[in-house]
Structure 1
């Protein structure tokens, strides 16, 4: 019974017909009043796991969240869906807080979000005991563990919830938790025989891609050119890089800004709000940006620099495609980034932490240099079985083929040996390519036997081959010597003992072909125009109501509206993500917008057809219809259809005149054209031929004559 009610609540308040995988089992467990732990990736639908049972059960759900900005966004989204919700945190005045508390006492709220500080403030537990609480939800539950990446000491006091409210079930939710953190969540919250639900950490809607870091700005501009108006985040390693990159993008006409911890709190809040409201398309940011950003329509995430570990990479790309629609993750990789990150690690941590951080960085580097399915590598890192190739990453799009690369390897190793193992990879590439730069000439590298031995191979390819030799243990990197390449025992075997080396050759993909392959359904011109029309309407409505646009409708819902074009209430409510309250607020506005757009399109189409109506006739001829049948079906005069046929023949379309104009008849028309010197007017030719050939055939004859003479016949 409760499960059926849960489905009804999902449709009524959230507009979805069915739960995502795993959600229904979690909700059933909560409705059974059992403690629950949920590990689910960002964008997997964690909030539904406590919001739906909270709405089914009588009473109030209390949600503990450490993220004030996210709290505000979630409450706005619930209110937009017709759910009575509120929040209590330090951003409110005493009067605002008293108003929310009174609504709770009056039984008017179903969902209350509180910060841990507010929950643990003096007298708040006494206030909660006056309410009918049906569920406590602990969001970002990893914050309770010193092993977690975002430990909050105040979370340790949340164990008092179970001590003070032993009968109220608790659901603890997190997107990232290793085994130690999981154990802490269970024990620190005093959960009673909890059931743990672990969802797949795969985000199949995100396309994974890695590119060499040599020409980043050029590659970013190419990437953005194909994605007009799509919101995205570019993560940079330094604050300075975020500012300079945003400035460069602005120069190129893009709506970009930057965010880092060096900005004042007010400036950070202002720029974050602009991004949420779609007033900024591109956010250039350090890793300080992202926690608590519930912007569902981020369509891409670029890493300008290599992240320090796969946990950070996974969390940051997870800010793209939270609405389930297609998103992209592009990572730029260079050995210079690895060296910079190693320097940062070696300067700032104790030896035990350094060893762990270096090991994690090594795994990040292996991911970037991988020659097999990237998603498989990522899932295996998180301990998840993943035995297929994903078909949704750059490696799967463009599978590399291996070849006997012994000669290339020997050239690289020879350059390293002849420079006495003192230079980094970029300089080795310069020597192989014969680059006569200042350093090469000053150090006499232009005199080496290997100088210019690889002119025919692009620099980017040489870099990739060097990376592969490092991965195979044939070369090593001395990070304490500015990244100098060093020979190994394996190097000697390749140079002197006939050891063969297999390398992988990368063929650069044809960008447009890959893009088309990845798109489940490419939009037609009309669909693209309608999507943009409705996107602007969504933006206008959101601005009027001071809401982020995705709270009105997500990109996924907007795309379905474009595909289905609902023009009445039942059809609009059938769209996934359109709840009852959403229809009441926006349904008729969008229906009217769709109808006016379609009417405008029809007018434009009619105007276009006036100049191309002969092409409609051409399609019908290709279907085997006679000119008489076309005249009848199109409700046009027969002489108009003959005129179409003449125009088509003259323009070179594949049509036959002979069924309607014999060679003898054409010879007579041709004589008439030459005698009257007319190639347009029909009447003089008709009179010259004394009515022997009718006007319809004369029109066809003129078409044939004009074509033959334009070809020089």
Structure 2
């Protein structure tokens, strides 16, 4: 008991003196206690919830070395850069490290000069590496992104499956598995696949209250995107698309429109991808348009928005990708453009999955995602309920809560739309039916003589987007179906008959033709001096470029805002700022405090 109390005191000291924080977040202390007691653990915390500290603090308290298994080179590089900036002896070994440099790192490891060593799953299981580990005082194995271990996980990786071999080679060494996204089935599978022994399981809240979730009906997505980005005032953001072609098209159009944007996808060379990721991390590029290849390596804390141009394939993927926004805890947005027709298109991808069980799992996950997109209830409640964190009250920070759907008697417009589909012989898709309703003068309509229909031009007083929304809602209500075997042509169902006859009143949601995004100062909670903050940011960028690290490795925005609020000019005052430890004080304190003194003297 005395020993544990002593190590916990050390853990508190490490947290304050190294990382610059005065107290642990919820759950971190219990996880660290389990590691210090040499107990296996499974840690589920949301992105930005402080998972890394759960193994970094024990690594600095325990004797010996902590080995961290990480799936991406960029993630390792980022973590090691941040630790080294704090004065922590950390290194990584993967295929990007030249052989001579690897030997030098191995020598430092064997000399006891390294406290945290990051490795890829492919590397750690090599015979030569296992042999090296047998001659080292390993204190802890940390398995980051542990959902990759599970067949039920959304990002399964075969090499992760073999990590249970570590338990066979080193049964006495505790193992900590960490992930931000895992449903109940995945959690049990992680424990089994890694052979965790009587693990301490911590499930933190999946709620990210600082993220505002918004789903917009997709009408003219590029115009919607341009309008949104103009409101963002050069904030950092990620735009996710489902195809490389769309990534290239959108990034080019954004660049042509004057936005500081770049593309990222697996079709680019490693050098190109590395350049874009590095430039984004260093605030040299503000917007990255990407496929999901731009993934787990994103540790940038000041991403202010994540926008999905297309619907993701699962709630797990959506949650993880949106979780890259607002990692610093400040206000952020998650926007998704949704076209119900995309549901059928995505489902066709699953037909190529040969493993029937895997196909059913993927279809089930996507059905949950589609239901989330179509829902008319609080977005956050649906997300949290999916992860078995039941929330009774609406969140007040999603599009449904902030702008509840308004209903109207849609019987007449429904009859007009259904009648138009029927009179056009149920052979045409959404866009064509809208053109007929609005009285468009196209050669196709004239060739089909549909300008002579009684429904031609009935809806010319309403917009294209209005009729698209109405037709989509009629599909949702089961009054229309889309026949994907015939070019997504609209067909009436039996249920449409009673609406056409006026046998009951149909309530529809008023189409949201233009979403309102109000720009907010994401740092307003600090009541800070904005001019001083701008000067501090400029100094941070200068020092970061000199050290060849991303600006957030020096200090994150939250720390700078607190400096601009508290204006520290002595060592003691500077240490009281959240995110400032002794290493950061000795390395960066003097120039920042001098800037603050000069500013106070002239303002």
* Category of TM-score, reference length = shorter chain: over 0.9
Map 1:192-211; keep pairs closer than 5 Å. Answer: 192-211=197-216
Match in the other structure for 1:663: none
- Match of residue 541, structure 2, among 532, 539, 542: 539
Asked whether the 8 Å contact 1:246–1:258 carries over to 2, the reply is: yes
CA distance change for structure 1 residues 181 and 507 in 2, over 3 Å: closer, same or farther? Answer: closer
Distance in structure 2 (CA, Å) of the matches to 1:177 and 1:233: 23
* Deviation sequence 1:536-571 (CA, Å, 0-9, x none): 222221111111111111122222222333232222
* In 2, Cα distance between equivalents of 1:470 and 1:564: 56
Q: Does 2:533 align with 1:528? A: no
1:337 alignment partner, SS class: helix
The alpha carbon displacement at 1:365 in A equals: 3.1
Q: Does 1:424 align with 2:419?
A: no
Aligned-partner Cα distance in 2 for 1:564–1:346: 58
Query: Does the residue aligned with 1:186 lie in a helix, a strand or coil?
Result: helix
Q: Which moved more, 1:154-163 or 1:24-33?
A: 154-163
> Distance in 2 between the 1:27 and 1:592 partners?
37
Task: State the shift of 1:510 in Å.
Answer: 7.9
Residue number in structure 2 paired with 1:559: 561
Secondary structure of the residue aligned to 2:68 is strand
Per-residue deviation, 1:279: 1.6
Aligned residue number for residue 78 of structure 1: 83
Alignment map for 1:264-279 (pairs within 5 Å) = 264-279=269-284
| Alpha-carbon spacing, 1:194–1:393, altered in 2? closer, same or farther (3 Å) | same
The answer to whether 1:232 aligns with 2:237 is yes
- Following the alignment from structure 1 to structure 2, what is the Cα–Cα distance between the partners of residues 531 and 440? 59
CA apart distance, 1:347: 5.5
Distance 2:356 2:592 in 1: 60
Task: Quote the Cα distance in structure 2 between the aligned partners of 1:564 and 1:320.
Answer: 26
Kindly state the Cα deviation for residue 355 of structure 1 after the two structures are TM-superposed: 5.4
TM-score, structure 1 normalization = 0.79
Structure 2 residue matching 1:409: 3-state secondary structure? helix
Q: Flag the 1:296–1:241 CA change in 2: closer, same or farther, 3 A.
A: same
Could you list the per-position Cα deviations for residues 229-272 of structure 1 after superposition, in whole angstroms to 9, with x for gaps in the alignment? 31111112221221221221122222111111111222222222
What's the counterpart of residue 670 of structure 1? none
Question: 1:377-433: CA deviations, max 9, x gaps?
Answer: 222333331221111111211112222222222222222222222222222222222
Structure 1 residue 471 displacement after superposition = 2.2
Q: Write out aligned runs for 1:44-443 (5 A).
A: 44-346=49-351, 356-443=361-448
Q: Given the superposition, is the C-alpha separation of residues 258 and 331 from structure 1 closer, same or farther in structure 2, using an over 3 Å criterion? A: same
Alignment of 1:591-670 (within 5 A): 591-600=593-602, 602=603
CA distance in 1, matches of 2:156, 2:475: 36
The answer for unaligned runs of 5 or more in structure 1 is: 603-713
* Higher alpha-carbon deviation: 117-126 or 232-241: 117-126
CA shift in 2, pair 1:151/1:347, >3 Å = closer
| Structure-2 change in CA distance of 1:354 and 1:51 (3 Å) | closer
1:568 is matched with which residue?
A: 570
Measured in 2, the distance between the counterparts of 1:356 and 1:419 equals 39
Q: Deviations over 1:146-177 (max 9, x none)?
A: 33333333333322322222222111112222
Work out whether residues 466 and 513 of structure 2, in 8 Å CA contact, stay in contact via their aligned partners in 1: no
1:674-713 equivalence runs, <5 A: none
Aligned residue number for residue 584 of structure 1: 586
Paired with 1:398 and 1:452, the residues of 2 have a C-alpha distance of 31
Gaps of 5+ in 2: none
Tell me: CA distance 1:355–1:161, structure 2 relative to 1, closer, same or farther (3 Å).
Answer: closer
Residue 35 of structure 1 corresponds to 40
* Structure 2 length-normalised TM: 0.93
- Give the 3 Å change call, closer, same or farther, for CA 376–425 of structure 1 in structure 2: farther
CA displacement at 1:189 relative to structure 2? 2.1
Say which SS state the counterpart of residue 299 (structure 1) adopts: strand
Q: CA deviation at 1:574?
A: 1.5
Per-residue CA distance 1:422-479 (angstroms, 9 max, x = gap): 2222222222222223333332222222222223333323322333222222322222
- d(CA) in 2 for partners of 1:142 and 1:359? 18
In 1, Cα distance between the equivalents of 2:192 and 2:371?
35
Secondary structure, aligned partner of 1:117: helix
Compute the displacement of 1:486 (Å): 2.1
**Aligned pair in 2 of structure 1 residues 441, 591: CA closer, same or farther (>3 Å)?**
farther
Alpha-carbon deviation of 1:339? 4.5
Structure 2 contact 231–519 (Cα < 8 Å) conserved: no
Shift of 1:78: 0.6
Tell me which structure has the larger Cα radius of gyration.
1
What is aligned with 1:449? 454
Where does residue 641 of structure 1 map in the other structure? none
Alignment partners' CA distance in 2, 1:127 and 1:335: 54
Distance (Å, rounded) in 2 between the aligned partners of 1:339 and 1:219? 23
> Which region of structure 1 is more displaced relative to structure 2, 457-466 or 227-236?
457-466
Which stretch shifts more, 556-565 or 252-261? 556-565
Is the 1:208–1:394 contact (alpha carbons within 8 Å) kept by the matching residues of 2? yes
Which whole-Å CA distance do the structure 2 matches of 1:293 and 1:283 have between them? 11
Shift of 1:581: 0.9
Q: How many residue pairs were aligned?
A: 598
Native 8 Å contact 2:523 2:558 kept in 1: no
Deviation for aligned residue 1:45? 1.4
**8 Å contact kept, 1:11–1:579:** yes
Change (3 A) 1:345 1:436: farther
Q: CA, structure 1 residues 72+296, in 2 after alignment: closer, same or farther (shift >3 Å)?
A: same
Say whether the 8 Å CA contact 2:181–2:319 is kept in structure 1. Answer: no
- CA–CA distance in 1 between the matches of 2:519 and 2:227? 13
CA separation in 1, counterparts of 2:31 and 2:585? 28
The answer to which of 336-345 and 365-374 deviates more is 336-345
Question: CA offset at residue 362 of structure 1?
Answer: 3.9
Within 2, Cα distance between the matches of 1:131 and 1:350? 41
CA contact (8 A) 2:470 2:511 kept: no
